[in-house]
Structure 1
């Protein structure tokens, strides 16, 4: 088996070849040496995410040409996920425990959630995420992942935001995921212990991984507000929040004793969703990137989604509808699992109690959605905190912030 670099000049990190050889020898991935006689002739690598779209990791697609067995010609692919390029960014990700967290999610918790759903309603629910047949810590923290592209899954168009059909599918999927995770926490002590072992992703590695990003996002958003007529008070409010913002956001991720908690995805925005379409309509979805999952209020995922992912039209007109549809799906799925969901009013109260977390999405993540060429957030983790200054001049970012900041102030979300 020969290993070739991408024809477009992609620099393949040395760990990728090592991991791929290990996966193949263990019968994972391309199945070299399997009983059907298929042989891996050569492998090429390509980037599995657009520049700036893979955060806190490097994501590669390995494509193998197979020969020597009837019915097994052509190509097969797997995804390889490892640390980001650059020593500083890789060190920050390691300190934050991102790969440890995602490994627990994809090898222990998500498969258990899917098994619970299948047992409750056989054949009714599709998988929640890609399979992870191999993971390890040598030569680096890595994951070998099922490639969902051959099954028809693809990302949505980022700059537009998600239309209503996409949003409904995303939130119904999230509700199913939350319901299954609540069942794990309530009924499976070993799984509950593994979920709590995920920890809070903003502690203790938060200062290294999130600190520069949070500080820069609020500072740059404040600077933009200061230049907009009538928005100086929002600049002052955002500047006042900066010193305590990271700790305040971390505290919002802590589960409240006696309150409804789930295993939050933690990074539930449109970049971490893949959709399958039929006749141009989204009909199925998979979640990806579980690096900052944690036990928390479901409000965390909802606020993160609402502040980053819907289109302008959906965000301004249909948020109440989306919350109701999420709650219906949560209630119905929890009933299938023999549990009772909190009432809609309790969910709305949780959103208000955690509302300041919307700032994390709106000031930090939303700009990444709305620009043509998003900066590499790994550069922020590596110390280049101002890499995204230009984003706040983007008209779509300006329009979004000018719409939501007055609403956040009215709801009391600009106080930490």
Structure 2
């Protein structure tokens, strides 16, 4: 059974389930996982887990499986998420292939995340950071997860953003991931540093049309905005052809700085939340590691801050949140007996400042995509192509009042820091 949704024009608003996701396929996975060759699937329900506009780099499908184990009379029911790439769209597949997205995520879920979890389990800093993975399918570039919604985990509100409590919880989990990854790379030298295909990297600029075009739209908005005007429009137009290079510089690991394995795409829709109840405290887990890369923590810090926080939280608590992240990072590094460079708070502040151009790119481009509430043309192709449909889609992004208010506040801040100036 496959559930579908359509808009008023009869067009599907969700991505189709993979054709290979059949009862026999799921049965073979469960037989291996449960170590029961007699296990038999009785029923399989398939429903979309994401709609168009919610995720531009992957497709999430929810499955409900009813099965019977050997010797049992009563069936059991379990729920899983199947994550796949855009296998049905050659254009998207070709673009993502240049970023090694499938390879990176397969390595992350097969090798790295389980090891980071194991290392943390042996300390008093132990807590669950990631969703449990049941199976990694190299042939179909797919990953099967536990369905966190069964445990009452939900996506946060991408249009509202995280409050202070949730922001600190994200930073606590992120700091533990960053610390554990640094220690893991010390134990396995060179393994994590091979992950070099983040959203910005020195191997591919296939995303350049998307980022450069959105900077151009931001420039047009600034020129038409009474609070900003032609000064900002001219600066952004000059910056447009440099946005890839300047953001890649943030990703470049510096030998005299603290480097780690970054999440690489840390925003609201890649974080699963469990609200507080009488039985449980609020919790969250990090998901989606297609763009993980060895880099400065500035990548995750400013990407997250610029896309996913409530405005006032970012304005009022920026410095305190850096201090909070640093404290958890250092504590975890010490507990794991890290022998490498551990930055002081001042050193980390200066390192993040050197990587602050990430905030410019993330706010003017990534956030515009993420808070978009017009999903009529919300797909990857519309972001990338330079035709009338693509241009109209990008212009509509900047009709969004949320992004307009953010840009009006932060462009002058960036300008006072010299972040809008073209380097000599």
Q: TM-score, normalised by structure 2?
A: 0.87
Q: What per-residue deviation string (whole Å, max 9, x for no partner) do you get for residues 216-273 of structure 1?
A: 2201111111110142211111111111211221222110112110101111111111
Residue of structure 1 in register with 2:154 after alignment = 154
Residue of structure 1 in register with 2:11 after alignment = none
| Per-residue deviation, 1:76 | 2.9
User: In the alignment, is residue 34 of structure 1 matched against residue 40 of structure 2?
Assistant: no
What pairs with 1:389-404 in structure 2 (closer than 5 Å)? Answer: 389-404=395-410
The 8 Å contact of residues 264 and 296 in structure 1, kept in 2 or not, is answered as yes
| Per-residue deviation, 1:42 | 2.1
Residue of structure 1 in register with 2:144 after alignment = 144
Secondary structure of the 1:17 match is coil
User: In the alignment, is residue 261 of structure 1 matched against residue 281 of structure 2?
Assistant: no
One of 236, 239, 242 as aligned partner of 2:237: 239
What pairs with 1:132-281 in structure 2 (closer than 5 Å)? Answer: 132-138=133-139, 140-189=140-189, 193-201=190-198, 202-203=200-201, 206-208=204-206, 210-231=207-228, 232-279=230-277
Secondary structure of the 1:393 match is coil
User: In the alignment, is residue 409 of structure 1 matched against residue 407 of structure 2?
Assistant: no
The 8 Å contact of residues 224 and 392 in structure 1, kept in 2 or not, is answered as yes
| Per-residue deviation, 1:176 | 0.7
| Per-residue deviation, 1:11 | 6.3
The 8 Å contact of residues 175 and 326 in structure 1, kept in 2 or not, is answered as yes
Secondary structure of the 2:284 match is strand
Distance 1:174 1:11, change over 3 A: closer
Residue of structure 2 in register with 1:316 after alignment = 315
Distance 1:24 1:381, change over 3 A: farther
Secondary structure of the 1:215 match is helix
Q: What per-residue deviation string (whole Å, max 9, x for no partner) do you get for residues 322-348 of structure 1?
A: 111111111211121123631111111
Secondary structure of the 1:133 match is strand
Q: What per-residue deviation string (whole Å, max 9, x for no partner) do you get for residues 171-229 of structure 1?
A: 1111111110111122222xxx3312211333466322x21221122011111111101
Q: Distance in 1 between matches of 2:127 and 2:103?
A: 25
Larger RCO (CA within 8 A; separation ≥ 6): 1
Distance 1:66 1:324, change over 3 A: same
Please, which moves more after superposition, 324-333 or 371-380?
371-380
Q: What per-residue deviation string (whole Å, max 9, x for no partner) do you get for residues 356-406 of structure 1?
A: 111221011212343334553522465255333212121111111111111
| Per-residue deviation, 1:133 | 3.0
Secondary structure of the 1:44 match is strand
Please, which moves more after superposition, 86-95 or 168-177?
86-95
Please, which moves more after superposition, 158-167 or 362-371?
362-371
Secondary structure of the 1:127 match is coil
| Per-residue deviation, 1:5 | 2.2
Residue of structure 2 in register with 1:368 after alignment = 369
| Per-residue deviation, 1:84 | 5.5
The 8 Å contact of residues 113 and 180 in structure 1, kept in 2 or not, is answered as yes
User: In the alignment, is residue 130 of structure 1 matched against residue 131 of structure 2?
Assistant: yes
| Per-residue deviation, 1:91 | 1.2
Q: Distance in 2 between matches of 1:404 and 1:382?
A: 25
The 8 Å contact of residues 213 and 380 in structure 1, kept in 2 or not, is answered as no
Taking only aligned residues, the RMSD between alpha carbons, in angstroms, comes to 2.5
What stretches of structure 1 of length at least 5 have no aligned partner?
A: none
Q: Distance in 1 between matches of 2:175 and 2:275?
A: 20
One of 104, 107, 110 as aligned partner of 2:107: 104
